[in-house]
């Protein structure tokens, strides 16, 4: 398992435990909780024709089942590992990037907005894990002891970032939607 798989499993377990604590009856073994996960691509400097293009990130979001319905943590980890391996071995993310960058800009604005809303409404959260530097950094001569990442989104956003040997995490959500 990768660090990302383990962190996804931890988030999945937290959601599972929350549902149990809320006496959520929709948590059968077959229930699914889908996360949108940002996937980054390495830069291809041969494709960069301008300084502005060279400074952009190449990324898209892909859908992934995070196995919230699993009652056993090891089965949950195995299902998450299987899901991420499948995403890595298939062209799904590359196709999503292609559609996002080359087809979506050609759509009428109303269609593009509705498509975005449809994608987000079919997912429970956006889950991102950003690997930061393993050593603490300095800013203006001062050591940065810890970092936080907050991102407001259409749906619940769970953000994890590793930095200086620790993992920091935040959840941004609508308190009216989740008690």
Average pLDDT over residues 65-78: 93
Average pLDDT over residues 52-67: 82
Backbone angles phi, psi at 172, to 5 degrees: -110, 120
- The residues, ordered by sequence, that sit 6+ positions from 162 with a Cβ below 8 Å of its Cβ are 3, 129, 130, 131, 132, 134, 168
**Helix (H/G/I), strand (E/B), else coil: 45:** coil
> Distance between alpha carbon 50 and the CA centroid of its chain, in Å?
29
What proportion of the chain, given as a percentage, has pLDDT over 90?
66
Q: Per residue in 13-38, pLDDT tens?
A: 999 998 889 888 777 655 678 999 99
pLDDT at 51 over 80: no
Q: What is the mean pLDDT of the chain?
A: 89
């Amino acid at each position: 398992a990768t660090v990302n798989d383990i962190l996804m499993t931890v988030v999945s377990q937290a959601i599972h435990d929350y549902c149990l604590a809320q006496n959520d009856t929709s948590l059968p073994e077959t229930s699914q909780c889908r996360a949108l996960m940002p996937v980054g691509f390495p830069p291809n400097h041969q494709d960069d024709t301008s300084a502005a293009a060279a400074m952009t990130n190449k990324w898209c979001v892909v859908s992934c089942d995070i196995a919230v319905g699993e009652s056993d943590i090891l089965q949950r980890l195995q299902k998450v590992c299987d899901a991420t391996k499948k995403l890595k071995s298939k062209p799904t993310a590359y196709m999503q990037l292609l559609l996002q960058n080359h087809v979506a800009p050609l759509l009428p604005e109303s269609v593009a907005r509705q498509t975005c809303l449809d994608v987000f409404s079919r997912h429970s959260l956006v889950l991102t894990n950003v690997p930061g530097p393993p050593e603490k950094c300095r800013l203006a001569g001062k050591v940065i002891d810890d970092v936080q990442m907050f991102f407001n989104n259409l749906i619940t956003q769970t953000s994890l970032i590793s930095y200086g040997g620790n993992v920091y995490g935040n959840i941004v959500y609508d308190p009216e939607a989740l008690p």
